[in-house]
Amino acid sequence: PDNDEFPAELQIELDDGVVLVERREVPQGGVKLPLTQAQIIAKLRTCAAVALQPAAVDRIIDQVGRLESLHDVAALCVEMEG
């Protein structure tokens, strides 16, 4: 559809050949259906868990929350590099 979003579709074929399909014309996380702050943080925690310790993720969340008042983002960059 012409909604300035990118539709998303997931298809899963089960062992018995049945295909399950789920489609979203307006996927969550886009302009028209934005994520909440809590959802963004949960997504960060999930994605970062493969490379960073939970304490590092906590520090990143804290520093990003104070981004406008940080005098230097070098520490944030170091945290994000792992």
Global pTM value: 0.68
pLDDT at 43: 95
pLDDT at 1: 53
Question: Is the Cα dihedral 17, 23, 27, 33 positive or negative?
Answer: negative
DSSP-derived secondary structure letter, 34: P
* pLDDT bracket for residue 3 (50, 70, 90): low
9-52 confidence digits (pLDDT tens)? 999 999 999 999 999 888 888 788 899 999 999 999 999 999 99
CB crowding 21-53: b at 16 or more within 10 Å, else e: eeeeebeeebeeeeeeeeeeeeeeeeebeeebe
Q: Which residue spans within the chain are E strands per DSSP?
A: 8-13, 19-24
DSSP-derived secondary structure letter, 24: E
pLDDT at 26: 84
